[in-house]
């Protein structure tokens, strides 16, 4: 709108002409809102409220008489209250750049004053104290011209060619270097120890790996050896079992052969021996009967005696076969045949005895006298063969 003016957020609008401002100021102050300004009859000017900066590089002398060059940066602005705006507007409205120049000069004077009361050690080690004192001493003076200081930073302190600060820092540098060397040595030692520990760990790991590999290799070798031996061992076991079976078969064959030999040789021999013994017994019995018959000349009595002795003869024959190993192959029929054979053998022996007795009686009758003369008493030894 024509004649309506609005200041920026970081500006103060100063309207001159017409009635006076607050406190008799030659202008009215408008901030944060617009104002209708009558053209021609009113004049509008703007004062910045933004942050400004001023640099100071001042040579100061300390309480020890040592010259120092101090560099500082001051951050300031016009105060937000109406009084500060009026004070700053009356002084810097026509040339607002003068605010930085004047502020630098004010702070340079306060720096010289405060540094003159301090030692180099205090200035170097207590920079914040120096800045605080400068701010406190300049606050009242800066308020008179409508300015406030937000911060003061000491950028550098230089003693030129005197070397005082360098000498002052030498012990600290030496201590720091010593601590640095100690720290470096400790770090080196720790690094060496760590490296040695890593080497030991690596060696231990290599050893364990080698042991595990050796055990694995040995296990593989044992498995391969067992696998390689499995075939021969199985073959050997099989051969051993075959040999055992063959040995058992040979033993059974030997036992069978032994039984066969016993059945073929020993038992027949024993039976033959028993037969011969039985014949000898029968012959002796015959001779006894013959002697008795010759003495009694009683034929009937002789036959009866022979008949009476028949069971005894059969018994003797059966006793001779008692210890023989006779294999009966046809059960009860075989036993019947054996019994019939024994009886038949007894009858055969009896018949032979009878024939021999008849023959012997004739011989004894013909040569009875000769036998008596020879003193044989009729006794005669004969041999009976049974086929």
Instruction: Return the pLDDT at 386.
Output: 31
Instruction: Return the pLDDT at 161.
Output: 80
Find the mean pLDDT for residues 357-376. 45
What is the tens place of the pLDDT at every residue in 297-350?
A: 555 565 666 667 666 665 665 565 555 554 544 445 554 555 566 556 666 766
Question: Picking from 84-93, 206-215, 224-233, which range would have the lowest pLDDT averaged per residue?
Answer: 224-233
Q: Residue-wise over 51-65: b if at least 16 C-beta within 10 A, else e?
A: ebebebebebebeee
Contacts of residue 128, defined as CB under 8 A and 6 or more positions apart, other chains included, come to none
Backbone φ, ψ for residue 52 (5° rounding): -120, 165
Instruction: Return the pLDDT at 230.
Output: 79
Calculate the average pLDDT of the chain.
78
What is the tens place of the pLDDT at every residue in 253-286?
A: 888 888 888 787 777 888 788 888 888 887 888 8
- pLDDT higher at 321 or 240: 240
- Whole-model pTM? 0.42
How deeply is 135 buried, as exposed, middle or buried, from its count of CB atoms within 10 A (0-12, 13-18, 19+)? middle
Using 50, 70 and 90 to split pLDDT, how confident is the model at 75?
Answer: very high
Query: Quick count: other Cβ atoms within 10 Å of Cβ 358?
Result: 11
What is the tens place of the pLDDT at every residue in 279-308?
A: 888 788 888 877 776 666 555 565 666 667
What is the tens place of the pLDDT at every residue in 144-196?
A: 889 998 888 888 888 888 888 888 878 878 888 888 889 889 989 888 999 89
Instruction: Return the pLDDT at 167.
Output: 83
What is the tens place of the pLDDT at every residue in 44-58?
A: 889 898 999 999 998
Contacts of residue 74, defined as CB under 8 A and 6 or more positions apart, other chains included, come to 53, 54, 55, 56, 103, 104, 107, 149, 151, 152
Q: What DSSP character marks residue 145?
A: T
- pLDDT higher at 252 or 19: 252
Instruction: Return the pLDDT at 265.
Output: 78
Q: Is the pLDDT of residue 375 over 60?
A: no
Instruction: Return the pLDDT at 326.
Output: 47
- pLDDT higher at 24 or 336: 24
Q: Is the pLDDT of residue 207 over 70?
A: yes
Backbone φ, ψ for residue 139 (5° rounding): -60, -50
Find the mean pLDDT for residues 353-369. 52
Using 50, 70 and 90 to split pLDDT, how confident is the model at 369?
Answer: very low
Tokens encoding 340 = 């019939």
């Amino acid at each position: 709108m024509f004649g309506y003016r609005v200041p920026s957020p970081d500006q103060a609008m100063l309207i001159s002409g017409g009635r006076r401002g607050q406190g008799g100021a030659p202008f009215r102050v408008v901030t944060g809102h617009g104002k209708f300004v009558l053209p021609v009859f009113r004049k509008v000017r703007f004062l910045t409220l933004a942050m400004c900066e001023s640099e100071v590089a001042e040579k100061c002398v300390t309480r020890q008489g040592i010259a120092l060059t101090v560099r500082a940066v001051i951050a300031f602005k016009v105060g937000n209250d109406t009084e500060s705006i009026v004070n700053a507007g009356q002084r810097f409205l026509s040339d607002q750049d003068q605010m930085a120049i004047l502020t630098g000069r004010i702070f340079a004077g306060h720096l010289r004053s405060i540094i003159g009361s301090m030692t180099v050690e205090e200035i170097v080690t207590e920079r914040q104290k120096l800045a605080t004192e400068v701010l406190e001493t300049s606050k009242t003076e800066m308020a008179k011209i409508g300015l406030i200081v937000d911060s003061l930073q000491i950028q550098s302190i230089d003693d030129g060619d005197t070397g005082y600060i360098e000498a002052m820092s030498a012990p600290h540098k030496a201590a720091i270097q010593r601590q640095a060397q100690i720290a470096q040595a400790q770090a080196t030692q720790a690094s060496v120890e760590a490296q040695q520990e890593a080497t030991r760990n690596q060696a231990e790991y290599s050893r364990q790996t080698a042991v595990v590999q050796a055990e694995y290799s040995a296990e593989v070798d044992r498995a391969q050896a067992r696998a390689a031996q499995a075939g021969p061992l199985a073959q050997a076991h099989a051969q051993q079992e075959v040999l055992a079976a063959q040995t058992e078969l040979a033993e059974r064959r030997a036992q069978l052969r032994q039984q066969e030999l016993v059945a073929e040789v020993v038992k027949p021999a024993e039976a033959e021996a028993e037969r011969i013994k039985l014949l000898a017994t029968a012959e002796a019995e015959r001779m006894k009967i013959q002697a008795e018959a010759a003495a009694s000349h009683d034929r009937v009595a002789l036959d009866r005696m022979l008949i009476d002795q028949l069971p005894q003869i059969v018994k003797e024959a059966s006793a001779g076969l008692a210890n023989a190993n006779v294999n009966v192959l046809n059960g009860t029929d075989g036993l019947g045949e054996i019994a019939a054979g024994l009886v038949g053998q007894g009858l055969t022996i009896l018949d032979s005895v009878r024939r021999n007795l008849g023959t012997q009686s004739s011989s004894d009758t013909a040569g009875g006298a000769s036998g008596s003369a020879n003193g044989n008493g009729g006794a005669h030894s004969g041999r009976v063969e049974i086929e």
